Chain A
Amino acid sequence: MAVNGILSNAVSGLLASRQAMNTVSHNVANVNTAGYTRQRVELSSRNALSSNNLSVGNGVFVSRIRRIYDTALQTQIQTSGAAQQRYDSLASLASGVDNLMAESSSGMGSSLQSFFAAASSVSNNPASGTDRQLLLDSAGSLLNRAQSVYSRLTEIERGTNSRLTTAVQSINQLASNLAGVNRAISRAAASVRGTPNDLYDQRDQLILDLSKKIDLSTVLHSDGSVNVYVGKGESLVIGDKTRSLRAGKDRYDGRRLDLQLGDGVGYHSISNSIKNGEVYGILQFRSEVLDPALNGLGRVVASLGLNFNAQHRLGQDLKGRPGGDFFAMGGPEVLPKNTNTSLATTAVPVVGYADAQALTTDNYLLNWQGATWQLMNRRTGQIVPMTGAGTTASPFLADGLSISVAGITAGVGDQYSFLIRPTAVVARDTRLALTDSAAIAAAAPLQAQTAAANLGDMTVGSVTNTTVTGLPLGSPAGDIVLTYSPNALGVGVPGFAVTGGPGGTLAYNPATESAGKTLTLGGTYSGISFQVSGIPKTGDTLTVADNIGGVSDNSNMLQLLALSGQSLLDGGTNTLQAAYGQMVATIGSVTRQANINRDAQQSLLDFSVQSRDSLSGVNLDEEAANLLKFQQSYQAASRVVAVSNSVFNELINAVGG
């Protein structure tokens, strides 16, 4: 056996141990590197030499440096990481709105309460200028509150734009890094023997980071490079080529940025096909929290304003003038799609409110179908049936909206699509219409009184009117006088003969109805009613007249006050306060659900990361032990070199001696 062989074996041992210690130090150095997979040196004995028909061992060599790695664990992390990021961005954006709704100072609830409390004071003291001014002030601060909630919501909306922009920037960065890694992997595959472990680690980490941002799928090639597809299978990274994403203006709403993918000729929106990752969380926040919050807030203002105005117009102010609008209302927002055939401002439908009770918190798309118009609920995707012809005289009616498309000449082949946000900007646009507190219409325009000479004990309550048609009556000439007679409607049928106004007769039977009967006038005056009670004597009269000098009358303010307890929303099932409370609760529960989902995905992610770390992570104690092990084998091999050296010297000395 050759001395040579001893040396060669020892050197192979030295080299192998060195290589092993090198790998240990690589592991130790990367103990905190994200995505690093520990490596292990695999040693094999070299092929034996045959000598004298004996197979003689020939030392050791490093057969490969293995990544301790499990693809299934990596996929798990990718999945739960993407979902965790999705819910995390949803939850963190939603909690902004959640906090906004929580602050009692910024919430609308207390402002509504103060507004109606001020209206109560006016009702108690209708002639008091101070109380009237207070009502205007509290109406003003109600609107301010609504406007400030609106502007904070729009700040949050702008926040989604910048988040989207940042996310898109990092997606583009990650994609181009990945393309670079792909190139390096392909090159390494062609030139290096063995696997480029560290490049694989980088590749996996980049895919992991990308998947946190956006919904993606990957295809792995045999050389270790990977292709990445986003949304419905549109390529983002192919080998060392990437396509660029951008956060571009929404096709309808220029204030919102939309996720768009470059396709060589331009960019097209892929927002609808993204279903995971941070980007989806941002998009989901817009549709599930922001839009309902904006519309919900606006809907409370719209419903209050429309109902308050309608009743206010039926009243009469401190100076005896008919009531006007109390609030100058904002209206629905209509946004044309930027690909519409005509983008002229006249080619936009006129949208107004037809029925405040039927308003929803959803947004709608009004689409030209080539021959007909179609309204679609954007949240549910359902087609909403419309009645009417769409003309100014007979607008389309659907979900509380009236839509006139009279201004748009749409033909076959024309493209028209509009986004309708029913109440999204009402809180921004609504102002007080009144500046003079005397113009608050606390009184009713009509009053009724019994004659001084009446001998019975008939009494009459205040007069309510549901329209102002035929008003004022023009007292005293236009007064409507009711004269009681036991035979007014024929022998033995008691009631009133009506002089002036609609004329005719009104039935009233003191024997059975003396506890109170509401009489309603006929004809043009059919909106006018009042309650009569008691027992009149023949010839007793009551007079319905204009309310002249009725500064202390609070009849209309009582009707206005009653709005606070009336179910004005959701088809007559919710009061203003209840609808607002429901909106707060809905936002709260979306936020809560997002928090719960995020936490659930977080623990799944934690578990997967734990599993991967326990397989692939570096343990310093283990590396220390390995270091000792290879140090000892290195020392042993060195010793063998020394021994072979002394054997060689012995031989030389023997020969030379």
Chain B
Amino acid sequence: MRISSHQIFANATANLSRIQTDLARTQNQIATGDRIARPSEDPAATSGILRLQDSQARLDQYQKNSDYAQSRLGLEDSSLNAVDNIMQRIRELALQADNGTLNASDRQDIRAEIQQHLDSLLQISNTQDSNGEYIFAGSRGHTQPFIANAAGGFLYNGDSGQRLVQIGDGRRIAISDPGSGVFRDIRVGNGTFGVAADAANTGTGVISNGTVTNPAAWVPDTYTITMTAGTSTTYEVRNVANTLLSSGTYQSGAAISFNGIVVDIKGVPANGDRYTIAPAANRDLLTTVQNLANTLDGKGTGTSSTAITQQLNIAIGDLDQSFNHILEKRTHIGSRLNALDSESNMNKDLSLQLQSSLSTLKDTDFAAAALHLNQQLTALQAAYLSFSQIQRLSLFNSL
């Protein structure tokens, strides 16, 4: 083929420029570590990278939310742990007070300590987080949830809002519990029914908190046990409609059972002494403790030692219920923390997978790039050399 002189130069410059362009691209890949400098170099991979980066960002956010949830639940749990400890101490004090040898001033001492603990409990139930939000106020984070009222009880001013955070695709977890659920709505008594001795009782009989033996047979109603003393003392159990449900000869500590429940009465009831059994109501933990303190202060129903023993008995039952309730809440928190852990581990695994897919799409294969660079350098050198040899040739040189 005939070659024009212009072609020799044009070809050489075109080839040099092409090799230099390739070389620059390889160099850029190596220098930045990115295989793709602009979307047009690999549009499909670009859209994949954007999608993976989006998923990655979402996972990172879930991880952050998990960490946040963990710290929030941790704060709640440690608050409840403190409640736990205080409740144990109060229960000990209540048991200590339930001793016939103590006089009123001994009980005042115990009451004073319980009052201290009540203040601590009030403080804990009004715990604020680092932003000053009350953590047990439901959604009303700027409203103090628990306040003593004039009647000697406590008011809940929060609501039942629960804050959720997103910790996975379609997976949300509660990071707070409203004070209404934690401290307020606690079923007292034995969880099913509560007992009481009539204030007018004159005997020394003390009714136990009782147990449920057959929940299916339990009929919620208010029942009255009436004692009739004679040569031998007998009892009758009647409901509100005055239907006789059970009767028999009284024996101290012997079981009195009807409608699937069992109670017993210890001591010597007087003629006409009455005891009532009613469905358990809800009471907040603070009021329960306040009631205990009131009893020790002699402000309960009756100040005889029997009346005080009876009230302490009931108070200990109420405390046990509250204690169990808090324990149950802590179990819930524990299981949420577990769920967080497993979700967080799953997110981390997924994140690793994403990273490796992303790296495949996005990162320079250094071995291959280095090889390319070498090939391109060799080609460029060869092009320089051959051009400088060829361009020297001309017949005019020989004329």
Question: Which of B33-41, B235-243, B352-360 lines the interface with chain A?
Answer: B33-41
Structural contact, B169 and A565, CB atoms closer than 8 A: yes
Quick check: is A367 within 8 A (CB to CB) of the other chain? no
Taking CB atoms and an 8 Å cut-off, the chain A residues in 95-113 that contact chain B are 95, 98-99, 101-102, 109, 113
Quick check: is B387 within 8 A (CB to CB) of the other chain? no
Quick check: is A584 within 8 A (CB to CB) of the other chain? yes
User: Which A residue's beta carbon lies closest to that of B62?
Assistant: A120
Quick check: is A259 within 8 A (CB to CB) of the other chain? no
Quick check: is B139 within 8 A (CB to CB) of the other chain? yes
Quick check: is A280 within 8 A (CB to CB) of the other chain? no
Q: How far, in Å, is A505 (CB) from chain B's closest CB?
A: 23
Structural contact, B5 and A453, CB atoms closer than 8 A: no
Structural contact, A452 and B2, CB atoms closer than 8 A: no
Question: Which chain A residues border B162 with CB–CB below 8 Å?
Answer: 461-462
Quick check: is A244 within 8 A (CB to CB) of the other chain? no
Quick check: is B64 within 8 A (CB to CB) of the other chain? yes
Structural contact, B395 and A624, CB atoms closer than 8 A: yes
Structural contact, A120 and B64, CB atoms closer than 8 A: yes
Query: Using an 8 Å CB-CB cutoff, how does the interface string of B273-287 with A read, 1 for contact, 0 for none?
Result: 000000101100000
Structural contact, B2 and A614, CB atoms closer than 8 A: yes
Question: Which of B45-53, B95-103, B315-323 lines the interface with chain A?
Answer: B45-53
Question: Which chain B residues border A554 with CB–CB below 8 Å?
Answer: 163-164
Question: Which chain B residues border A624 with CB–CB below 8 Å?
Answer: 394-396, 399
Q: Which of B42, B58, B175 has the most CB of A within 10 A?
A: B58
Of A553, A582, A617, which contacts B163 at CB under 8 A? A553
Q: A609–B7 Cα gap in the complex (Å)?
A: 9
Taking CB atoms and an 8 Å cut-off, the chain B residues in 50-84 that contact chain A are 50-51, 53-54, 57-58, 61, 64-65, 68
Structural contact, A584 and B39, CB atoms closer than 8 A: yes
Quick check: is A447 within 8 A (CB to CB) of the other chain? yes
Taking CB atoms and an 8 Å cut-off, the chain B residues in 147-203 that contact chain A are 156, 159-166, 169, 172, 175-176, 180, 184-185, 187
Quick check: is A585 within 8 A (CB to CB) of the other chain? yes
Quick check: is B1 within 8 A (CB to CB) of the other chain? yes
Question: Which of B130-138, B244-252, B294-302, B369-377 lines the interface with chain A?
Answer: B130-138
Given known pairs A552-B161, A589-B40, the reply for A453 and B46 (CB within 8 Å) is no
Given known pairs A109-B54, A120-B166, A549-B140, the reply for A589 and B43 (CB within 8 Å) is yes
Structural contact, A618 and B38, CB atoms closer than 8 A: no
Q: A595–B5 Cα gap in the complex (Å)?
A: 30
Structural contact, B6 and A621, CB atoms closer than 8 A: no
Structural contact, A565 and B395, CB atoms closer than 8 A: no
Quick check: is B142 within 8 A (CB to CB) of the other chain? yes
Structural contact, B165 and A549, CB atoms closer than 8 A: no
Quick check: is B108 within 8 A (CB to CB) of the other chain? no
Query: Using an 8 Å CB-CB cutoff, how does the interface string of A618-651 with B read, 1 for contact, 0 for none?
Result: 1111101101100000000000000000000000
Structural contact, A617 and B166, CB atoms closer than 8 A: no
Q: A158–B227 Cα gap in the complex (Å)?
A: 103
Quick check: is B44 within 8 A (CB to CB) of the other chain? yes
Quick check: is A300 within 8 A (CB to CB) of the other chain? no
Taking CB atoms and an 8 Å cut-off, the chain A residues in 19-60 that contact chain B are 31-32, 38
Q: How far, in Å, is B367 (CB) from chain A's closest CB?
A: 25
Given known pairs A94-B40, A124-B68, A619-B2, the reply for A549 and B161 (CB within 8 Å) is no
User: Which B residue's beta carbon lies closest to that of A114?
Assistant: B57
Structural contact, A120 and B65, CB atoms closer than 8 A: yes
Question: Which chain B residues border A460 with CB–CB below 8 Å?
Answer: 160
Q: Which of B37, B159, B172, B394 has the most CB of A within 10 A?
A: B159
Taking CB atoms and an 8 Å cut-off, the chain A residues in 535-591 that contact chain B are 547-554, 558, 561, 564-565, 575, 577-578, 580-582, 584-589, 591
Structural contact, B394 and A551, CB atoms closer than 8 A: no
Q: How far, in Å, is A288 (CB) from chain B's closest CB?
A: 13
Quick check: is B141 within 8 A (CB to CB) of the other chain? yes
Query: Using an 8 Å CB-CB cutoff, how does the interface string of B87-99 with A read, 1 for contact, 0 for none?
Result: 0000000000000
Question: Which chain B residues border A109 with CB–CB below 8 Å?
Answer: 50, 53-54
Of B6, B7, B54, B61, which contacts A120 at CB under 8 A? B61
Quick check: is B368 within 8 A (CB to CB) of the other chain? no
Q: A126–B165 Cα gap in the complex (Å)?
A: 11
Given known pairs A554-B163, A614-B3, the reply for A128 and B38 (CB within 8 Å) is no
Of B10, B36, B141, B395, which contacts A551 at CB under 8 A? B141
Quick check: is B20 within 8 A (CB to CB) of the other chain? no
Of A117, A127, A565, A578, which contacts B133 at CB under 8 A? A127
Q: How large is the interface on B (under 10, 10 to 19, 20 to 34, 35 or more residues)?
A: 35 or more
Q: How far, in Å, is A520 (CB) from chain B's closest CB?
A: 20
Given known pairs A124-B68, A584-B46, A606-B14, the reply for A552 and B40 (CB within 8 Å) is no
Q: How far, in Å, is B58 (CB) from chain A's closest CB?
A: 7
Structural contact, A558 and B180, CB atoms closer than 8 A: no
Taking CB atoms and an 8 Å cut-off, the chain A residues in 327-354 that contact chain B are none
User: Which A residue's beta carbon lies closest to that of B131?
Assistant: A128
Q: A344–B4 Cα gap in the complex (Å)?
A: 65
Question: Which chain B residues border A580 with CB–CB below 8 Å?
Answer: 50
Question: Which chain A residues border B61 with CB–CB below 8 Å?
Answer: 116-117, 120
Structural contact, B4 and A614, CB atoms closer than 8 A: yes
Q: How far, in Å, is B378 (CB) from chain A's closest CB?
A: 23
Quick check: is B143 within 8 A (CB to CB) of the other chain? yes
Q: How large is the interface on A (under 10, 10 to 19, 20 to 34, 35 or more residues)?
A: 35 or more
Quick check: is A125 within 8 A (CB to CB) of the other chain? yes
Structural contact, B142 and A448, CB atoms closer than 8 A: no
Question: Which chain B residues border A448 with CB–CB below 8 Å?
Answer: 160
Question: Which chain A residues border B396 with CB–CB below 8 Å?
Answer: 620, 624
Q: How far, in Å, is A100 (CB) from chain B's closest CB?
A: 9
Given known pairs A95-B38, A102-B37, A625-B395, the reply for A549 and B142 (CB within 8 Å) is yes
Q: How far, in Å, is B192 (CB) from chain A's closest CB?
A: 10
Structural contact, B68 and A618, CB atoms closer than 8 A: no
Quick check: is A123 within 8 A (CB to CB) of the other chain? yes
Structural contact, A101 and B39, CB atoms closer than 8 A: yes
Q: How far, in Å, is B84 (CB) from chain A's closest CB?
A: 22
Of B2, B5, B10, B131, which contacts A620 at CB under 8 A? B5
Question: Which chain B residues border A553 with CB–CB below 8 Å?
Answer: 139, 161, 163
Q: How far, in Å, is A121 (CB) from chain B's closest CB?
A: 8
Question: Which chain B residues border A582 with CB–CB below 8 Å?
Answer: 47
Quick check: is A449 within 8 A (CB to CB) of the other chain? yes
Q: A124–B138 Cα gap in the complex (Å)?
A: 14
User: Which A residue's beta carbon lies closest to that of B68?
Assistant: A124
Given known pairs A553-B161, A585-B46, the reply for A592 and B40 (CB within 8 Å) is yes
Given known pairs A449-B160, A620-B394, the reply for A613 and B140 (CB within 8 Å) is no
Given known pairs A452-B185, A625-B395, the reply for A443 and B43 (CB within 8 Å) is no
Question: Which chain A residues border B143 with CB–CB below 8 Å?
Answer: 549
User: Which A residue's beta carbon lies closest to that of B37?
Assistant: A102
Structural contact, A447 and B4, CB atoms closer than 8 A: no
Question: Which chain A residues border B165 with CB–CB below 8 Å?
Answer: 123-124
Given known pairs A95-B38, A113-B54, the reply for A452 and B43 (CB within 8 Å) is no
Q: How far, in Å, is B213 (CB) from chain A's closest CB?
A: 20
Q: A307–B133 Cα gap in the complex (Å)?
A: 30
Given known pairs A581-B50, A584-B47, A621-B395, the reply for A550 and B185 (CB within 8 Å) is no
Q: How far, in Å, is B291 (CB) from chain A's closest CB?
A: 17
Structural contact, A619 and B3, CB atoms closer than 8 A: yes
Q: A127–B43 Cα gap in the complex (Å)?
A: 43
- Can you give 7 contacting A-B residue pairs, CB < 8 Å? A447-B160, A547-B159, A551-B133, A551-B139, A554-B164, A624-B394, A624-B396
Instruction: List chain B positions with a Cβ less than 8 A from chain A.
Output: 1-7, 10, 14, 36-44, 46-47, 50-51, 53-54, 57-58, 61, 64-65, 68, 131, 133, 137-143, 156, 159-166, 169, 172, 175-176, 180, 184-185, 187, 279, 281-282, 394-396, 399
The 6 closest A-B pairs by CB, nearest first: A617-B4, A588-B39, A552-B141, A585-B47, A588-B43, A591-B40
Beyond A120-B166, A447-B161, A550-B159, 18 additional pairs, beta carbon < 8 A: A95-B40, A101-B39, A109-B53, A124-B175, A450-B180, A455-B279, A549-B159, A550-B140, A553-B161, A585-B43, A586-B43, A588-B40, A589-B43, A610-B7, A614-B3, A614-B7, A624-B396, A627-B399
